[in-house]
Amino acid sequence: MTSTPPEQPTFDTPPRATWRTVDLVVAAVVGAAVGVVFWFWGMLWAATQPLFVFFPPAQAVLYGIWLLPGVLGGLIIRKPGAAVLTSTAAAFVSMVLGTQWGVMVILSGVLQGLFPEAVFAALRYRRWGTVAAVAAAVAAALAPAVMDNLRYYPTWPLTFQLAFAGIVLLSSAVIAGLGGRLLTTALARSGALTAFPSGRE
């Protein structure tokens, strides 16, 4: 009598919704690591403001890094809620380390995780390629494209606000979307993701 080998997950196999300990740990570690980057990026954002006085919305070219954790968490862990948890964890670490945006970063982190989560859910958690990553990143950028204009730049002319929103979307597509996809592939090739389907591509 022969035993049946365990079923291996494939690209078209939806993930099991049950979270393992390793899923939670990796979401927390990725979130914490990106949160430290957030802390540095906040200082970089403040320091580079004078470079963009010629056209302030152009500074949004730096924005994509803040949209990375939700996309990256989803691509690596591939379970419902991964994008939200990773993005929120990164925002929390950033707030604890100190940020000029205070507790508002938590709201931003949740929203920037919810939007890519919606894209992965719409794809039934079955598609994890470049197109899905870029779509998730663009969705993540919708929150700051609207909220930042309303909260931080309400006195800007409409042309500036539209330019800011467009540059945020583009920056997110490149840094969070393409960058998140490439980073996931690099981590998989390094052997760091052997516990996940993303590590067996």
DSSP letters, 45-105, are HHHHGGGGTTSGGGGGGGGGGGGHHHHHHHHHH-STTHHHHHHHHHHHHHHHH--TTTTHH
Tens-place pLDDT, residues 153-176: 999 999 999 999 999 999 999 999
In the DSSP assignment, the letter for residue 153 is -
Tens-place pLDDT, residues 15-72: 667 899 999 999 999 999 999 999 999 999 999 999 999 999 999 999 999 999 999 9
Question: The whole model's pTM is what?
Answer: 0.87
Domains along the chain with CATH numbers: 22-189 (1.10.1760)
* C-alpha radius of gyration, the chain, whole number: 18
